[in-house]
Structure 1
């Protein structure tokens, strides 16, 4: 599989309800986590928003299992993207309120993004696989 390495941020997609919940969350932590709050708000504002039923299956959504390459270290990681109260790094569940979490949301398999880490250094994150959680059947 070829990973694209863009110079600008790639297009991203989000589920409408998740985008609303994440915007509220980002605003609520603005004083405590200003960098992550600003990055997350920026990502939400540029996302193409879909209903849960219409979001492509290869997009990183909340509760997705994501395999990605951290180009800075060359390490491949597999994590589940979760809300802060569900985070447990030892269990592989990373919060959306981490720089990596905010960088992965909305990306599609095969996309890369240059993204700041906690120290402000840019690193490339490349998504190699996405497994979204099961969705309830439409009524």
Structure 2
């Protein structure tokens, strides 16, 4: 199992960054924990021009395959904005703990994230499709 980096590098396009910054602020009252986590990820993100994000980095509307390191389960989801979320269709909101953890992480990197109940989990990004 790869060793998780609690804070692997995060890269975001300027467009995603701007929209996510507004979203994190707007959701502070309704989703304070996830909003805080997303805000912290945005603070440490390397922001690049739109179109310059490497294709191996998770961006909004990217299809992401990742592995839960505790169970070995592999899952593929599409990372979306809250209004487009549909778990049954594999569309995960960036305003969920796992969505906020995935944004900006590159293929091959692991990240530790926390469920809404506070349980620590580690996932590894295996593939990104844009």
Alpha-carbon contact 1:65-1:79 (below 8 Å) kept:
yes
Contact 2:56 2:127 in 1 (8 A): yes
Determine if contact 1:5/1:111 at 8 Å carries over to the other structure: no
What 5-or-longer segments of structure 2 have no aligned partner? none
Q: Provide the residue aligned with 2:71 in structure 1.
A: 73
Instruction: Indicate the RMSD between aligned Cα atoms, in angstroms.
Output: 1.2
The TM-score, its normalising length taken from structure 1, stands at 0.89
| Count of matched residue pairs | 130
Q: CA deviation at 1:74?
A: 2.2
Contact 1:109/1:130, CA 8 A, preserved across alignment = yes
Which of 13, 16, 19 does residue 15 from structure 1 map onto? 13
* Further displaced range: 109-118 or 72-81: 72-81
Aligned pair partner of 1:118 in 110, 116, 119: 116
The equivalent residue for 1:49 is: 47
User: Contact between 2:66 and 2:74, CA under 8 Å: does it hold in 1?
Assistant: yes
Q: Is the 8 A contact 1:60 1:105 kept in 2?
A: yes
Q: Structure 1, unaligned stretches of length 5 or more?
A: 133-139
Query: What's the TM-score, normalizing by structure 2?
Result: 0.95
**How many Å separate the matches in 1 of 2:104 and 2:62?**
10
Question: Do the aligned partners of 2:5 and 2:110 also contact (CA within 8 Å) in 1?
Answer: no
Distance in 2 (alpha carbons) for counterparts of 1:7 and 1:44: 17
Equivalent position SS for 1:23:
helix
